[in-house]
Structure 1
Amino acid sequence: MVSTLLHGATLLTVDAENRVIEDGWVAIRDGRISGVGPKAAIPEAALFDEVVDLAGHLVMPGLVNAHTHSAMVLFRGRSEGQSLLTMEGWYNSIREPELSLIASDIGPAVKLSCAEMVLSGTTTFCDQYFFAEEIAEAVSQAGIRAVIAYGIVQLGDEERGAEELAKASAFIEQQRSADGRIVPWFGPHAPYVDNSENLLRAEVAVAMKYGVGMHLHMAAGPEDNEETLKRYGLTATQALDRDGFFNGRVHAAHCLDLSDEDIAIFAKSPAASVAYCATAGLRSGREGICPAVKLREAGVVVGLGTDNVAANNSYDMVAEMRVAGLVASHREGVAQPISSRELVRMATIEGARALGLDHEIGSLEAGKAADIIAIDLSGPGYSETPDIETVLVYSGSGRDVRHVWVSGERLVADRKLLRQDYAEIRAQYSSTYEAFWDRVAKARKVA
């Protein structure tokens, strides 16, 4: 594998000391970071196969998108006027046309999503959807890193639930990638809303058997708690806790309507985390806002996610940091209750921690996988500053990412994909998009 020396950049390490190193360097060997430091301690260039001068750039760990559904790029712009965090809005905008999806739709859609993500600095994402095998194949071809949760939607059909659980188990057994870039999980779509109690208990048992995480939507609106409050006088979070759901790794998206008691359950769990999807929450029209400040104060790990691009329309995690900070200020009624530095950590090391990958990615430290991005600071908005995190969060854009490495492999150089041709990806996607929506239209005529 090529050894690489990156030098001349401002380094945002996101390590335990949050070091910012001016005119710093990062050394990469065998896909891992072998050293990080200031110019005074730079190793000899002759010791490396490749030397990259990144003067005028910010070099930092790759961004972690803690919640999305990559195949749903097919639904971009299709949910205007609909709240995807309600059963009605989700079913009408998403679930009904999803019934026309076929396996061959997935690869082109996921490849486009991976291209959009990596070109804007995301090197790891957490996905939950159907056709998990096809998603894994497309992600593998793209070279990006992903936790892929096999999406399970039961909707009252016990036989379907059992079949999906068996398929999810097979996916777990088959998809652990040798290079560690793909990590398989379970993905019960939403507790009690579209996964029954019996199925949820079975999912917990199987997840514990395989030692994998579960990624689900939780507390996205009042109806999430209606069934459990009626039956047990408990919120869905409390009912899941009663059934042992929080004994393993649980990664919950949205969490707009958590009570203080619910937050306490997350806090006491050995490996519970939340994906704060601020933009998707705002666009949903829901009054609730994820209590990210309270969760963090309670010690809960909180990452940042875009959700799907029907709910968000963008994979730009730099923009997501900005919205997350603004929404937290609005919710708490105080200026910047989550600092820019903390927002950067939520989009990197905290997202990695939520996925159980913080030993591997999320910071620029020797021994970690070389998942690294370089952002061009020469353009408008990046004037001189004593606080690079604030400039990045509130002035920056994922479109300023120029170079990307994953496990030391260069996937983006000067904003061009190196593994695959973007024009080809886009052309394949456009053909798939047209065929899919023609299929949906025909199905609606028949209905």
Structure 2
Amino acid sequence: MFSVLIRDAVIITVDAQDSGYAPGWLSFAEGRITGVGPMSSCPEPGGFDEVLDLPGHLVMPGLVNAHTHSAMVLFRGRSEGHSLLTMEGWYNTIRVPELAMEGRDVGPAVALSCAEMALSGTTTFCDQYFFAEEIADAVAAAGLRAVIAYGIVELGETERGMAELEKAAAFVKAQRRGEGRVVPWFGPHAPYVDNSESLLKAEVALAEELGCGLHLHMAAGPEDNEETQARYGQTATQALEQAGFFRGRVHAAHCLDLSEEDIAVFARAPAASVVQCASAGLRSGRAGICPSVALREAGVTVALGTDNVAANNSYDMVVEMRIAGHVASHKEGRAQPISSRELVRMATLEGARALGLDHETGSLEPGKAADIAVFRMGPGWSETPEVEAALVYSGSGRDLRHSFIAGEQIVRDGELTRRPFAEVRAVYSAAYADFWARADAKADVA
């Protein structure tokens, strides 16, 4: 039974008591945390296969990026000056070139995204996209933990929508036969915008039958509520509740324009969560800001995500915590309505809870998976009453030194252990050139 002892580090557990130790120790064996505490209770090192002495380092739960589209690293820098939270911006800069995408493009793109996430402290992420099988294969090869929602876009083509739903169901069933770190879901892209009401009801019924979650975009752009306001005089959130959408697990991204009644819909749902993508929202030019303070006060789980790196350009979840803190202060008109400690919780345990994985990850507690991020406490990390303040407002994902997922060391001394980053990048660069040559050629013909 391979065992590891980490000692003499600053440790934040993100458990129910927000326990922290400075300095402290943590141990794990066979992928599970076996102990954590102050250095005064540290076990003898002789009983462990490996001992890591980490003074000057922060040990914490691995970060959870609760909303992204990992294959869309192919679009990084391609939507500058366009808002991806409008139909026009998304359709013209993303959807049109996506029509040239093939399965062979996806693996190298997801591999690069997984590398960037791992190297900045993310151990778990939630994805929504097409080519879900290729995404799952790339995630398995990289060793990360992921919820992968099979992206479903109908855009008025009823037969296409139902065919995609059938493929999504097959994906869920196939992934459940494995024993890996991938959890399969359905991903209705944008209800009432590119998923019709009839398709939404079919998605709800099948999700209930299979017991899987629904990951979607909601209240992200001005088009989101147009159809339901015209037909029913209510928002899409309220219409979805009436259609039964909120009976199961629902994970909604963005949520920039939620009304008080919309917030109440989330609050009374049995398993609904919101993921704030603060950087993507600001870059979109939208005036709306996710009402994370009001949602949390209503008892709704609020996680954090980067969105895709065409909308954001970065997978750095440390920076995402910082931006989420800034926009909350701006929206509420008061200083730090969400504390640094709470922002860390949103990026770890609350993210895990939103994905139904809080029994497995999100905090450093005995019995849970050893999903761990270790950050160097270098420049900017001088003494603070709470180390979370230094992490959120002075730190960076580039401070990451080590990370573990289920006890496996994925990053050692800032380098990937499964595959060199240079190799990941080289394969991706070739795939990028090939994809855009095809996409540009198709655009020229059109």
The interval holding the TM-score normalised by the smaller chain is over 0.9
Superposed CA deviations along residues 126-176 of structure 1, whole A, max 9, x for unmatched, are: 000000000000000000000000000000001101110000000000013
Structure 1 counterpart SS, 2:225: helix
| RMSD of Structure 2 on Structure 1 (CA) | 0.8
- Residue matched to 2:388: 389
SS at match of 2:335: coil
Q: Which residue of 1 aligns with 2:426?
A: 427
Pairing of 1:187-226 with structure 2 (within 5 A): 187-226=187-226
User: Helix, strand or coil for the counterpart of 2:212?
Assistant: coil
| Structure 1 SS opposite 2:94 | helix
Contact 1:177 1:183 in 2 (8 A): no
Partner of 1:31: 31
Shift of 1:222: 2.5
Instruction: Give the distance between the partners of 2:60 and 2:52, measured in 1 at CA.
Output: 15
For residues 178-257 of structure 1, the aligned pairs below 5 Å read 178-257=178-257
The CA deviation at 1:54 is: 1.1
> Is 2:292 the counterpart of 1:288?
no
Residue 305 (1) aligns with residue 289 (2): no
Aligned pairs for 1:357-372 within 5 A:
357-372=357-372
1:62-141 equivalences under 5 Å are 62-141=62-141
Counterpart residue number, 1:376: 376
- Structure 2, unmatched stretches of 5+, are none
> Residue 373 of structure 1: SS of its match in structure 2?
strand
The one-letter amino acid of 2:302's match is V
Specify the alignment match of 1:344 in structure 2.
344
Distance 1:11 1:105 in 2: 40
Q: Secondary structure at the match of 1:224?
A: coil
Q: Is the 8 A contact 1:112 1:429 kept in 2?
A: yes
1:171 alignment partner, SS class = helix
What code does the residue aligned with 1:387 have? E
- How far 1:2 sits from its partner (Å)? 2.1
Cα deviation for residue 385 of structure 1 reads 1.8
Off by >6 Å, runs of 4+ in structure 1: none
Q: CA deviation at 1:180?
A: 4.7
What letter matches 1:243 in structure 2?
A
1-structure distance, mates of 2:38, 2:20? 10
Q: CA deviation at 1:20?
A: 1.4
3-state SS of the aligned residue for 2:239?
A: helix
Letter in 2 for 1:258: L
Q: Provide structure 1 residue ranges, at least 5 long, that are not aligned to the other structure.
A: none
**Once the 2 structures are TM-superposed, how far is the Cα of residue 48 of structure 1 from its aligned partner?**
1.1
Specify the alignment match of 2:443 in structure 1.
444
Amino acid at match of 1:104: R
Query: Offset of 1:179 from its aligned partner?
Result: 4.1
Asked if structure 1 preserves the Cα contact closer than 8 Å seen for 2:216 and 2:252, the reply is: yes
DSSP 3-state at the match of 2:439: helix
- The number of equivalent residue pairs is 446
1:275-324 Cα offsets, whole Å, 9 max, x none, are 00000000000111100101001000000000000000000000000000
What is the 5 A alignment of 1:393-408? Answer: 393-408=392-407
User: What residue identity is the alignment partner of 1:324?
Assistant: A
What is the rounded CA distance, in whole Å, between the counterparts of 1:3 and 1:229 in structure 2? 58
Deviation at 1:3, TM superposition (A): 1.0
CA distance in 2, matches of 1:176, 1:141: 17
Distance in 1 (CA, whole Å) between partners of 2:171 and 2:96 is 25
Partner of 2:5: 5
What is the CA deviation profile of residues 38-89 of structure 1, one whole-angstrom value per residue up to 9, with x for unaligned ones? Answer: 1111112111111111111000000000100000000000001100000000
State the AA in 1 paired with 2:435. F
Per-residue deviation, residues 316-374 of structure 1 (Å, max 9, x unmatched): 00000000000010011000011101000000000000001111100010000000011
